[in-house]
Amino acid sequence: MRVLKKYLKNKVMLIIGTGGLGKEILGILIEDNYPNEIIFFDEDKNAPCMLYDKFQVIKSEKKLKALLKKNAEFITGVGHPRMREKVTLRLEKMGGILTPIISKRTSIFPFNEKYEGIIIQPGVGISHNAKFGKCCAVHINSTIGHSCEIGNFVNIGPNVSIIGPVCIGDYSYISAQATILPHLTLGKNVVVTAGKVVNRNLNDFETF
């Protein structure tokens, strides 16, 4: 997939958040030779005014609204699933249009559904007939098997292996190097800790 091609006409890419995920999004854009200006928004008083002495960070809602009037697209670089939802809904109410960021260095089969606001990092592999909810984050070198259904605002950590078909509920967090065996259902707000092999269904709010 070459998702970034359709954004080349835009003057600015607005990344929400200057933390780890926001910086990883920046890295994807730079690596994929995104040609236009990149600006961050972060209201944290400890956030820098410039990131890496090159990328502007706006902190006021007034400046944010002014920027959205000129360029409505944004990507939410907030790692916590619930906070990512809160920030995303706020920006959408202000007229922002959530956009996906998908690295060019991925292997994604055709016949998948929905990439609304998704973040897919380099090295990710996704098989066919996968479905993604809103604003998921799939970290480096993870694999998602065929016919998986991933809910809204789900985090999939680095080097995770999800062997389809698997269903994962909203707001769930799959930590690094976890493996989820096929034909399982994970509820909402589930946490799978690093390195675990999930071999049974998990209830809502369960930690494995």
| Residue 24 and residue 95 in one domain | yes
- With a cut of 70, which residues of the chain have pLDDT below it? 1-10
What pLDDT score does 8 carry? Answer: 45
The full DSSP string for 100-119 is -EE-SS-EE-SS-B--TT-E
What pLDDT score does 9 carry? Answer: 59
| Residue 120 and residue 206 in one domain | yes
CATH of the domain at 96: 3.40.50.20
DSSP secondary-structure letter at 66?
H
| Residue 114 and residue 201 in one domain | yes
Which residue, of 101, 116, 143, is where some domain finishes? 101
Answering whether pTM is above 0.85, one says yes
The boundaries of the domain holding residue 71 are 3-101
What pLDDT score does 3 carry? Answer: 44
Model pLDDT for residues 9-37, shown as the tens digit of each residue: 557 899 999 999 999 999 999 999 988 89
**How many alpha carbons fall within 13 Å on the CB side of residue 113?**
10
CATH of the domain at 129: 2.160.10.10
